[in-house]
Each structure stands twice: as structure tokens, then as C-alpha cells.
């Protein structure tokens, strides 16, 4: 069955710092003309870095859009067109101070396929040498370390609602089960 | 540690059909003034409906923002202020034709806390009586049924990148393990 929708008009309605927003119209395979709003984002990475005690580095930070503090796996935004492994290798040092070794690709996530083009690529890595934390000017966060079981408990109990962190927990669990 | 950021200015830069976009400035606890972009969304629900064979109803549809076809748990958008259980009870009938019985709240997800206010609430339910499918005018989808193991395999193998579907798979797995 043909499902693709053909773009008829494309209009940028907001061109911001992190996101660009489009208001398009499209033709469905049935021939209907429908409005389609799209948030464009360059994409990001999530990085699960495990230390020698089997604990993962976690980031606690204030999330302005959600008006609350969250606990998440370290993550970062790609430069447009950047290879996600390059982003992951840079961001894990910037957020934790430690470089990662033995990176393993875990998979990808569409956070909000209904209206957002963002794709997040996930990596697992082991803690390497200390290089020094280096945060962006508008980035403030606290580091902690948690076991995978603690992260899954947090998801189940509603203390870890971040999509990327829950998805990565499932993929790490499966990676370890299937070894 | 105080982490909350105080809103200084708030400007709606796009007021659309599904989303509203703001470009704000905020003051951090350290006293810095920073730009903050926010996509506002009324929130949604994801519904995992299990049938008498232990299979879950899944929706295959074209996702314009991702320019591809995805397979996902049924889902829907809340009316502003609507109780999410009400949304879930309505959407599962609209998308599958069947009403749900014995709804269980699984938890919530922030798809994109970096710049989006959307919260998705998750429900597990059992297949009830047939009421008839009723899709929105601009909604086109195909139904199928999958076991939880097939859904988790799809996540691991990259065939199911939808955030909500992966997160719900983790939460259903844990619900069944902890029974």
C-alpha cells in the first residue's frame, strides 16, 4: 500500500536558534490536501557510559520547557550533517569530563514523529581517561551515577520520564541479555 | 541546589494547528540571561491494547515529519486540559475499532524535554467489544498485531524507532515481570 504524502507547499514560519518550524501542505495517497506542521531539528545523540562498578553517568538539569528538573543519560545536539559518533565522543567528555572507549551503536529514536524531524542516535561506551568537563555557556547540570536497575526502577516509578533515557535503558538491557 | 530558571520575556512566534512556538529569555540561578525556545503541545497518550492471544494492536502510518512509514502503539492528542484516561478510551476505539477494558496507568514520557512541553501518558488495556473504527479526516493507518517480544526485537533491530513505543515496551515488560 502506497502511504507517502507529497509536499505541495512548504513555508518556514520560524527560524530559531535550535529549531526551525515549517507549515506545509501535502497531498495524501487518497488525493486529499492536508496541513502538516514540522519542527526541524539537526538531531542528537544519547550516550550511556558505564564505569568499572557497572554504574552509568547521569545528568540532572533544569528543563525549561518542562518547568522541572530531570535526570537523563548525557546527550547532545549534532551539528547539521555531523556523524553522530563524533557528536557522542565530544558530548560525553563535555558533560562528564571522561572520554568514552569501545563505543557501541545501540539504535535510534524518533522522539515525536507526529510533528518533529529529530532523530536521536544512541551509544553505549565504557568510561575512559579523565579529560575535564566543559559545558556550554547556557548549560548547568549535576552528575551522578546509577545502575541500570535503578534507572529502570526510576522509569517505572515515574521519576525518569525522559524518553531517550527509557529507550536507552531498554536497549542496554537487551544488549546485555543477548550477549 | 536551586536549578529553576526564571522567565524574563515570553514571545509567541508561531501559533499553529497542533503546536505553538515560543521564544523566551530566562535568568539562570547563576544570574545569566539565556534564550529558551519552547514548542507547546497539549500532550498525548499511548495505548497498549492486548488481545486474548497476548498480541498488541499496532498502527502503521506515514509520518510526514520523518518522511517514512512507522509502526507504533496507537496514540492520540489530548484536548487542552483533558484527562488522559478519557483521551485513551476515545483514541483506542477511533484507531482500532475496539474499546479497551481494565485500563492500567503505565507512566509518562517527556519526548523532547530540551525544547518541547509535550507529556505523553501511557495506558495498558485489554481488548473489549467492537465499536467501529473512526479516523480523523487527515489520518490514514493500517492495523496489525504483535507480541511484546516482537516489538522489543523491532526496537533492537531499528525497525521500531518511535520513542513512545519503545518506552511503553519497557514499562509493559516491567509490569508483567513485577506482577
Collect all residues with Cβ–Cβ distance below 8 Å to A108 and sequence separation of at least 6.
Answer: A119, A120, A121, A122, B158, B161
**CATH, domain A44-177, list 3.20.20.100, 1.20.140.10, 3.90.79.10, 2.120.10.70:** 3.90.79.10
Q: Is B131 helix (H, G, I), strand (E, B) or coil?
A: coil
pLDDT tops 70 at residue A1: no
Rounded percentage of chain B residues whose pLDDT exceeds 90: 91
* CA closest to A15 among chain B residues: B13
Separation of alpha carbons A179 and A78, rounded Å: 30
Burial of residue B129, with CB atoms counted within 10 A of its CB: 0-12 exposed, 13-18 middle, 19 or more buried: exposed
> Cell numbers of B101, please?
477494558
pLDDT, residue B1, reads 61
ipTM of the complex: 0.96
Helix/strand/coil percentages in chain B, nearest 5: 20, 45, 35
pLDDT tens-digit map of A134-155: 887 777 789 999 999 999 999 9
**Chain B residues within 8 A of A39 when measuring between CB atoms:** 19, 21, 39, 65, 116
Grid coordinates belonging to A29: 495517497
Instruction: Give burial (CB, 10 Å; 0-12/13-18/19+) of A162.
Output: buried
Average pLDDT for residues B116-126, to the nearest whole number? 98
Using the beta-carbon criterion (under 8 Å), do A156 and B138 form an inter-chain contact?
Answer: no
> Per-residue pLDDT for B135 more than 90?
no
Which of B112, B122, B155 is the best substitution to test chain A (most A C-beta atoms within 10 A)?
B112
Contact B166 A166 (CB under 8 A): yes
Distance from CA of A92 to the nearest CA of B (A): 17
Partners of A169 on chain B (C-beta within 8 Å) are 170
| pLDDT at position B179 | 86
Residue B146: is its pLDDT beyond 90? yes
Q: How far is A110 from chain B (nearest CA, A)?
A: 5
The H or E element containing residue A92 is helix A84-96
pLDDT in tens, A14-50: 999 999 999 999 999 999 999 999 999 999 999 999 9
Beta-carbon separation of A17 and B35 below 8 A: yes
For the CA atoms of A172, B119, A77, A6, what is the dihedral angle to 10 degrees? 100
Intervals of CATH 3.90.79.10 along chain A: 44-177
Q: Do B19 and A23 touch (CB under 8 A)?
A: no
Residue A5 has pLDDT above 90, yes or no: yes
Per-residue pLDDT tens over the stretch A64-115? 999 999 999 999 999 988 999 999 999 999 999 999 999 999 999 999 999 9
Residue B80 has pLDDT above 90, yes or no: no
Q: Identify the CA nearest to A136 among candidates A95, A79, A171.
A: A95
Q: What average pLDDT is seen over chain B?
A: 95
In this structure, are strands A44-50 and A120-130 parallel, antiparallel, or unpaired? parallel
User: What does chain B come to in residues?
Assistant: 179
B163–A110 C-beta distance less than 8 A:
yes
Contacts of A3 (CB under 8 A, 6+ apart): A29, B60, B61, B62, B69, B140
Q: What is the pLDDT of residue A139?
A: 73
Residue of B nearest to A173 (CA): B170
Mean pLDDT is lowest, of A114-123, B67-76, B130-139, for B130-139
| B22: its cell numbers | 515560543
A70 to B113: CB separation less than 8 angstroms, yes or no: yes
Longest Cα–Cα distance of chain B, Å, equals: 58
Residue A30 burial (C-beta neighbours within 10 Å; 0-12, 13-18, 19+): exposed
Task: Please report residues of B whose CB lies closer than 8 A to that of A42.
Answer: none
The DSSP H or E segment spanning B157 is none
Catalogue the E-assigned strands of B11-156: 12-15, 20-27, 33-40, 44-50, 56-63, 68-72, 75-77, 98-109, 120-130, 142-146
How far, in Å, CA of A3 to CA of B155, rounded? 22
Cross-strand pairs, A98: A130
Amino acid at each position: 500500500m502506497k502511504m507517502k504524502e507529497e509536499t505541495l507547499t512548504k513555508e518556514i514560519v520560524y527560524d530559531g536558534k535550535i529549531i526551525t518550524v515549517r507549515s506545509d501542505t501535502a497531498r495524501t495517497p487518497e488525493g486529499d490536501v492536508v496541513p502538516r506542521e514540522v519542527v526541524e531539528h539537526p538531531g542528537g545523540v544519547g550516550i550511556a557510559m558505564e564505569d568499572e562498578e557497572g554504574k552509568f553517568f547521569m545528568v540532572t538539569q533544569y528543563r525549561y520547557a518542562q518547568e522541572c528538573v530531570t535526570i537523563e543519560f548525557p546527550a547532545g545536539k549534532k551539528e547539521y550533517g555531523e556523524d553522530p559518533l563524533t557528536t557522542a565522543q565530544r558530548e560525553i567528555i563535555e558533560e562528564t569530563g571522561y572520554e568514552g572507549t569501545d563505543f557501541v551503536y545501540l539504535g535510534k529514536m524518533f522522539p515525536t514523529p507526529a510533528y518533529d524531524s529529530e532523530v536521536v542516535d544512541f551509544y553505549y561506551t565504557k568510561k575512559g581517561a579523565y579529560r575535564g568537563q566543559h559545558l556550554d555557556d547556557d548549560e548547568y547540570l549535576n552528575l551522578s551515577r546509577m545502575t541500570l536497575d535503578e534507572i529502570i526502577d526510576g522509569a517505572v516509578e515515574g521519576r525518569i520520564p525522559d524518553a531517550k533515557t527509557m529507550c536507552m535503558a531498554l536497549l542496554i538491557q537487551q544488549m546485555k541479555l543477548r550477549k
